[in-house]
Structure 1
Amino acid sequence: MGVYTKIFLEFPRKFWPTGPGKQFFVYASSRRGYYGMWQSFEQEYPGANVLMVTVTDVESRRIEQQPDNVTMAEAVGVLRNMFPDRDVPDATDIYVPRWWSNRFFKGSYSNWPVGVNRYEYDQLRAPVGGRVYFTGEHTSERYNGYVHGAYLAGLDSADILMNKVLNNVEFKARPKYDDEQKAEEE
């Protein structure tokens, strides 16, 4: 499971550059992953005065364990370092999702190791007890870790469920190895 945290900060006014080619900006720190990737939402939500900063792995875990006011102070400090010639106000609101700390999630998205094949994906999405079906980006063989992977996996799971309900066709996991598939076909 990967840990990827998108922190949203709202400000009373814009102080960052806007316009074509200025939606994203990067902070280079000697501290790996320290509030590095920033995005403005001015194009999508004009006047919202919202910035998002992305942190991952160790920084995500650290930030999830601290109070939001500490995170807000750190992030605003980074922005003041990034824009020393601008009047950077304090943020008025912050949202820090805590996917890693949540006992039901323990991470933000699947992060499969090298060598995983279709068999493992099928095992994850196979119905349990014939009544419980799982779906999500983690069951998408081609697009795991992405929103469209979750969407496409949902469509696949709906097909599996509908085949069971309408045609009484059970889900069958594909074999782990191609030679098992060939043997089954013969």
Structure 2
Amino acid sequence: MTCTSEIFDVIIVGCGAAGIAAAIELQTIPQLKFILLEARNRVGGRIVTDTTTFDINTPVDLGAQWVHHFRPEHPLYKYNELSKDIHINNHFIFRSLATPFFDIDGTRISSNKIQKAEEISNRLCNIIKESSLSIDKSMFDVIKSEYIQYNNDPQMKRLIDLFLGIIEQYEASNLDQLSAKSYLLSDNGIDEYNLSMPNGFGIFIENVVQQHQLPVELNSIVTRIDTSLSNSIVRIYTKDERLFLCKYVLITIPLGCLKAHSIEFIPSLPEWKQNAIDIMGVGLSNKIFLQFPFVFWDPTWYSILCTSPQFRFILCRPNECMLQIKLAARTALEFEEKNDKDIIDKVMILLRTIFSDRNVPEPTRFLITKWNQDEFSKGAYSNFAIGADNQTLIDLARECNDRIYWAGEHANYDGTIGCVDSALESGERQVKKIIQKIKQ
């Protein structure tokens, strides 16, 4: 066991968005000694850009892809000039002339039918919104009696599922897993105004870390945190048998890792903390990137929506001859168990059904994400599972033993959750509490 002689004021576990925001805030107090311990061989956590699968001029974001809720109060607003190629992208998934709808047999769905399905879906969502529940239940349970009335029209049912699937895609879980009482809390009333970064969100975050010259120790997998000593020093152990000492520790690892007990805490976490970890939901969102030798779809399309229960949302990137398919919830989990060839074969069957009147080539390159199998993520991002509410977030963020503090997109109480801005806000807020504690 190798022990550092230095006792840090603060050690941040994790160099994702929350850890980065916390570290930048700590830099405002020059006399504080701190370090970030990152398990991966890179910074950014679930914000990562691949520039090798296709080529350097075709970056793809494997995790976070959009800067959600962009506004002057946004933590990244001050970094506008770091990327010269940031532009507004408010087209996440919506009905427009640039987004055709196809049925599972490849036929184009009429605008009248689309409009009717959207109206029905909005009505179902209003039922969830207006429900007064003493005991929480799933979103699906709240709308079930109304929803099953459309079983006699299979195409309309598939269209309704597609529109409801927008919620499932955004929350990364199925409606029968999501809290009805906490419906709409994820965005906390803040407008969904998105920034797109064609150069890559991961590249942007790396630039932020480099600009601030943050002290990061990569390949540092924390396995145990011990606060049992009477001298108030926190002992942090890593997988490669290093020991770090500090006065305060800020935990910013993903909720999926907390659920998997990736870190052993001595003494054990209090019951209220473990309950919050158990109750809060973790969704799964994956992507399939396919690059083709030429564009065989209409290059003016922004996206393609399909009533296929597996491949509903396809983003078009004609400049790179690429299609990006979004998977979520149980579908994403199911496909993580399949081999890549089977996944690509299934996608190609759908594409050749939709574009049966033209030559659809085999992809020249592809990339498939599997975030649930990622040992340092174990899922995509948090959501309000049945029984979870803002008090759950408060408990997730609440410190333990006056020395262990918590931050992350899953712990941003009174704000948004599940997004990069959620993590940034949480990291900054929680580390300010540590700074106040040190100043006392």
More moved, 101-110 vs 47-56: 101-110
Q: Which residue of 2 aligns with 1:101?
A: 373
CA distance in 2, matches of 1:128, 1:118: 18
Structure 1: distance between partners of 2:295 and 2:417: 35
SS, match of residue 79 in structure 1: helix
Q: Contact 1:64–1:96 (CA<8 Å) still a contact in 2?
A: no
Aligned-pair CA distance for 1:25: 0.9
Structure 1 gaps, min length 5: 169-186
Letter in 1 for 2:338: Q
Moved more, 106-115 or 72-81: 106-115
SS at match of 1:108: coil
The answer to whether the 8 A contact 1:4-1:56 is kept is: yes
Alignment match, 1:181: none
1:11 counterpart residue number = 292
Secondary structure of the residue aligned to 1:100 is: helix
Letter in 2 for 1:27: C
Is the 1:68–1:94 Cα contact (8 Å) retained in structure 2?
no
Of 328, 331, 335, 1:59 maps to 331
Provide the residue aligned with 2:59 in structure 1.
Answer: none
Paired with 2:323 and 2:434, the residues of 1 have a C-alpha distance of: 40
Q: Structure 1: how far apart are the matches of 2:425 and 2:317?
A: 27
Contact 1:126–1:133, Cα closer than 8 Å, also in 2: yes
Alignment of 1:73-92 (within 5 A): 73-92=345-364
CA distance in 1, matches of 2:351, 2:426: 38
The answer to which structure, 1 or 2, has the higher relative contact order (CA under 8 A, 6+ apart) is 2
**Structure 2 gaps, min length 5:** 1-281
When structure 1 is superposed on structure 2, of 48-57 and 151-160 the one drifting more is: 151-160
Q: Choose which of 134, 137, 142 in structure 1 pairs with 2:409.
A: 137
Q: Which residue in 2 is equivalent to 1:160?
A: 433
What is the aligned residue count? 158
Equivalent residue, structure 1, for 2:209:
none
Q: What secondary structure sits across from 1:157 in the alignment?
A: helix
Q: What is the aligned partner in structure 1 of residue 343 from structure 2?
A: 71
Distance 1:130-1:79 versus aligned 2 partners, 3 A rule: farther
How far off its partner does 1:156 sit?
Answer: 1.9
Map 1:110-129 → 2, pairs under 5 A: 110-113=382-385, 116-128=388-400
User: What is the DSSP-based 3-state SS (H/G/I as helix, E as strand, rest coil) of the residue aligned with 1:16?
Assistant: coil
**What is the rounded CA distance, in whole Å, between the counterparts of 1:112 and 1:147 in structure 2?**
17
- 2:304 corresponds in structure 1 to 25
CA shift, 1:53, in A, is: 0.8
Q: 1:41 to 1:147 in 2, by over 3 A?
A: farther
- Residues 15, 86 of structure 1: 8 Å contact kept: yes
Q: 2: distance between equivalents of 1:161 and 1:11?
A: 51
Distance change (3 Å), C-alpha of 1:78 and 1:162: farther
TM-score (norm 2): 0.33
Moved more, 147-156 or 51-60: 147-156
Shift of 1:137: 1.4
How well do the aligned residues superpose, as a CA RMSD in angstroms? 2.3
- 1:155 is displaced (CA, Å) by 2.4
1:169-180 aligned within 5 A? none
TM-score (normalizing by structure 1)? 0.72
| SS state at 2:353 partner | helix
SS across alignment from 2:427: helix
For residues 33-48 of structure 1, what are the structure 2 equivalents within 5 Å?
33-42=309-318, 47-48=319-320
- Cα gap change, 1:110 to 1:87, in 2 (>3 Å): same
**Alpha-carbon distance in 2 for matches of 1:134, 1:143:** 16
SS in 1 for 2:290: strand
Paired amino acid for 2:310: Y
- Partners of 1:60 and 1:83 in 2: how far apart? 24
Deviation at 1:103, TM superposition (A): 4.1
